[in-house]
Amino acid sequence: MIQRFVYETIDSTNGEAFRLADNKGANLAPFLVLTQKQTAGRGRAGRKWESEDDGLYFSIYLRPSVTIDKAAMLTLVMAVAVAKALQRYIAIQEQTCKQATDGCESSLQILQTLGIKWPNDLVLNGKKIVGILTELRTDDRGYGVVIGVGVNTNQKTFPEELQDKATSLKREMGIPILGEVLLKYIEEIFLQEYTTFEKEGNLVFLKETYETLLINKDKVVRVLDPKGEYQGVAKGIDEVGQLLVETQDKEVQKVYAGEVSVRGLYGYVD
Ligand code: BTN
């Protein structure tokens, strides 16, 4: 296990991770910041991340040996790690469930719907359950990365505007999630994959697993490119994590996550 800094409340675990690296020295890497609640949880594209009690909120600070242009791929590495950790968690629950009499198997079937919406949202039953925000900072010795993860574990309700888009594992599966156990699995799986990523410097080793989880695969997507929106069929990812979208004229566009969002034909996913 890597070193942990644990809080009851903090503004943002991403922000705290950078502060700790500044104050205690970047040599502390890798380390993890965990909190029960955030007062200013950060989401992608400058959005806010709802961070009341009952969710799992943490960040991992790293000093990768790969060049800075490769760091964005870490978001996809984390997405796969969280998905695998959830599968492991549920598989273990399932064993316990089989020994119980309350017939929780049906709620476990929902796991079949777990997937990644490119590039890094985890979705269950068509709704978001995990968000990942990767931030970079350069300094005189290179750069540091913070990968922040918010998992909707046990929330009962969501704000009005998120009703159709977000859900929690507990809401979908009817069983409470032990965040501490799930975090242990995520940490273990992520650090293993991170070691491989640092050696290889690309996502070839992860591509097949990622594409199995990719809910957009072979579906029509709308690419919300600031230079002009277009549609196509998502075919998978390339070795650096760009989404491959085949347009009507059979040309394959490579979509880079930075500025562009991808939606289903009618909504967030489908
Ligand atoms: C998204 O918009 O999908 C990304 C959300 C990331 C939220 C997590 S919660 C822990 C970490 N700290 C933050 O301030 N944000 C990330």
Largest CA distance in the chain: 59
Nearest CA to ligand 1 atom 11: 148
Residue range 217-262, pLDDT digits in tens = 999 999 998 888 999 999 999 999 999 999 999 999 999 877 677 8
Which whole number is the average pLDDT over 258-267?
72
Ligand 1 centroid to Cα of residue 153, in Å, is 14
| Any ligand 1 atom below 6 A from CB of 255 | no
pLDDT of res. 158: 87
Residue range 12-25, pLDDT digits in tens = 999 999 999 999 99
Q: Which CATH architecture has domain 3-210?
A: 2-Layer Sandwich (3.30)
Residues in Cβ contact with 32 at an 8 Å cutoff, skipping those fewer than 6 apart = 2, 3, 4, 5, 58, 59, 60, 61, 187
- Per DSSP, the residues of 25-69 read -GGG-SEEEEEEEESS-B-GGG-B----TTSEEEEEEE--SS-GG
The percent of residues above 70 in pLDDT, for the chain, comes to 93
Quote the mean pLDDT of the chain. 91
Quickly state the pLDDT bin for 266 (edges 50, 70, 90).
low
Ligand 1 centroid to Cα of residue 104, in Å, is 30
Q: What residue spans define the domains of the chain?
A: 3-210, 216-261
Residue range 94-108, pLDDT digits in tens = 777 666 655 566 656
Which whole number is the average pLDDT over 190-213?
98
Cβ contact 253:223 at 8 Å: yes
| Any ligand 1 atom below 6 A from CB of 12 | yes
pLDDT of res. 265: 65
| Any ligand 1 atom below 6 A from CB of 150 | yes
pLDDT of res. 91: 83
Nearest CA to ligand 1 atom 2: 43
Pocket test for ligand 1, best of 48, 49, 146, 151 (most atoms within 8 A of CB): 49
- Per DSSP, the residues of 117-161 read ETTTEEEETTEEEEEEEEEEEEETTEEEEEEEEEE--S-S---GG
pLDDT of res. 256: 87
Pocket test for ligand 1, best of 133, 149, 152, 158 (most atoms within 8 A of CB): 133
| Any ligand 1 atom below 6 A from CB of 119 | no
Q: Global pTM?
A: 0.94
Pocket test for ligand 1, best of 56, 57, 134, 182 (most atoms within 8 A of CB): 57
Please check the confidence at residue 268 and state whether its pLDDT lies above 70.
Answer: no
Which whole number is the average pLDDT over 118-133?
94
| Any ligand 1 atom below 6 A from CB of 133 | yes
d(CA 9, CA 221): 38
Nearest CA to ligand 1 atom 7: 150
Ligand 1 centroid to Cα of residue 49, in Å, is 6
Which whole number is the average pLDDT over 100-127?
81
The percent of residues above 90 in pLDDT, for the chain, comes to 73
Class of the domain covering 216-261: mainly beta
pLDDT of res. 101: 56
| Any ligand 1 atom below 6 A from CB of 148 | yes
Residue range 51-107, pLDDT digits in tens = 998 999 999 999 999 999 999 999 999 999 999 999 999 888 777 766 665 556 665
Of the two residues 258 and 158, the one the predictor is more confident about is: 158
| Any ligand 1 atom below 6 A from CB of 44 | yes
